[in-house]
């Protein structure tokens, strides 16, 4: 695209300049969790320093002739030595099959949401007394929770609220946890609301919102986070790759979040925001925010 005329570049630059305030507002909306602290969900509580969920069956929510649920994983066997439940080999596949049609939770009915929560709680119970996934950050062996994760379901209203924005369509949502455990980056892809119609005709328009947070590993399950910066980057407009010919100062806008706004008195480890990793293996992670919201992610 470097061969495009100056007029084309000027036009695209003007289009992005006009859209910059909208992108920044969307990016700021993505930081809402940092400034809200609520009572954790009553569906999970700390027991002996570990997180333990109420064991519920999928069959409580779906009848035997309901074809929308692929299989009933049933009650997982009890581990007599730990008092928790072994991971059912069908449980993960059941959970991922259910969430596949719910568009990250944007399209979930109440009964579907209840089913996902019940399945997630069975997974949480299976690791309630084992060593948490946050152990190992900054070591040669590393932590299984580190790396890039893609969101497949959430109950968090601050995330779901982005989906009702009349201007944008929410694309993929990622969370990147640094191998040292010192930084967490949330990435949200957004497109115009008419993207499904416009993309095949005039090419895609894509932007990415990034929210950077300082992270503190509190124990083997909990990561405390303090949001420090928000950025909005235009990737393409009407099929034109903006990264190839627009200067970074125009293509990307950012805003540092003052400690006074974060409410941590300049010490990120004192931030009110955190999330707990309640289940994690090589390809699936279940987390709970300080608000009690559920996040289910798969390895990207």
pLDDT digits (tens, 9 = 90+) for 121-147: 999 998 887 889 999 999 999 999 999
Q: 45 pLDDT band (50/70/90 cuts)?
A: very low
Which is it for strands 284-289 and 274-280: parallel, antiparallel or unpaired? Answer: antiparallel
Q: What pLDDT does residue 143 have? A: 95
What DSSP line would sit under the chain, residue for residue? Answer: -TTS-HHHHHHHHHHHHHHHHHHHHHHHHTTGGGG---PPPTTEEEETTEEEEPP--GGGTS-TT-TTS-----PPPB-TTTSSBPPPTTHHHHHHHHHHTTTBTTT--HHHHHHHHHHHHHHHHHTTTSPPTTTTTTSSS--TT-EEEEEEEE--HHHHGGGG-SSEEEEEEEEEE-TTSSEEEEEEEEEETTHHHHHHHH---EEEEEEEEEEEE-SSSEEEEEEEEEEEEEEEETTEEGGGTS-HHHHEEEEE--HHHHTSTT-GGG-S-EEEEEEE-SSEEEEEETT--EEEEEE-
Residue 218 has which token pair? Answer: 């509190």
Q: Which of 205, 202, 183, 201 is nearest to 192 (CA)?
A: 205
Residue 116 has which token pair? Answer: 């996902």
Residue 250 has which token pair? Answer: 């125009």
Cα 13 from Cα 69, distance rounded (Å): 48
Average the pLDDT over 104-125 and give the result: 95
Q: What pLDDT does residue 49 have? A: 30
Q: What pTM was computed for the model?
A: 0.73
Q: What pLDDT does residue 224 have? A: 95
Q: What pLDDT does residue 44 have? A: 31
Q: 222 pLDDT band (50/70/90 cuts)?
A: very high
Contact between residue 75 and residue 123 where contact means Cβ atoms under 8 Å apart: no
Q: What pLDDT does residue 163 have? A: 84
Q: What pLDDT does residue 199 have? A: 81
Q: Is the pLDDT of residue 14 over 60?
A: no
Q: Is the pLDDT of residue 3 over 60?
A: no
Q: Which of 46-50, 173-177, 281-285 shows the lowest mean pLDDT across its residues?
A: 46-50
Q: What is the mean pLDDT of the chain?
A: 77
Percent of the chain with pLDDT over 90: 46
> Hey, which of 67-76, 85-94, 150-159, 260-269 has the most confident mean pLDDT?
150-159
Q: What pLDDT does residue 90 have? A: 85
Q: Which of 105, 75, 109 is nearest to 90 (CA)?
A: 75
Q: Is the pLDDT of residue 187 over 70?
A: yes
Q: What pLDDT does residue 6 have? A: 53
Q: Is the pLDDT of residue 23 over 90?
A: no
Q: What pLDDT does residue 183 have? A: 96
């Amino acid at each position: 695209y470097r061969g495009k005329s100056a007029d084309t570049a000027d036009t695209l630059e003007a289009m992005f300049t006009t859209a910059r305030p909208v992108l920044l507002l969307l990016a700021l909306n993505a930081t809402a969790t940092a400034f809200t602290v609520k009572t954790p969900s009553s569906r999970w509580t700390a027991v002996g320093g570990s997180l333990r969920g109420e064991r519920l069956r999928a069959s409580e929510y779906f009848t035997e002739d309901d074809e929308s649920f692929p299989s009933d994983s049933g009650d997982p066997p009890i581990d007599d030595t730990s008092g928790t439940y072994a991971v059912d080999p069908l449980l993960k596949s059941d959970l991922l099959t259910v969430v596949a049609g719910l568009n990250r939770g944007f399209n979930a009915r109440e009964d579907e949401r209840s089913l996902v929560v019940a399945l997630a709680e069975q997974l949480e119970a299976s690791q309630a007394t084992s060593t948490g996934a946050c152990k190992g950050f900054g070591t040669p062996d590393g932590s299984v929770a580190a790396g890039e994760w893609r969101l497949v379901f959430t109950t968090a209203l601050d995330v779901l609220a982005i989906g009702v924005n009349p201007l944008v369509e929410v694309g993929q949502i990622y969370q990147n946890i640094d191998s040292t455990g010192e930084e967490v980056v949330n990435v949200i892809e957004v497109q115009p609301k008419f993207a499904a119609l416009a993309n095949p005709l005039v090419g895609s328009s894509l932007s990415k919102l990034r929210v950077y947070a300082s992270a503190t590993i509190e124990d083997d399950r909990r990561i405390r986070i303090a949001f420090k910066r928000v950025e909005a980057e235009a990737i393409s407009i009407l099929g034109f790759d903006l990264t190839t010919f627009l200067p970074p100062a125009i293509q990307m806008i950012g805003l540092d979040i003052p400690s006074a706004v974060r409410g941590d008195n300049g010490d990120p480890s004192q931030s009110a925001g955190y999330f707990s990793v309640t289940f994690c293996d090589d390809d699936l992670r279940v987390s709970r925010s300080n608000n009690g919201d559920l996040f289910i992610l798969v390895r990207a």
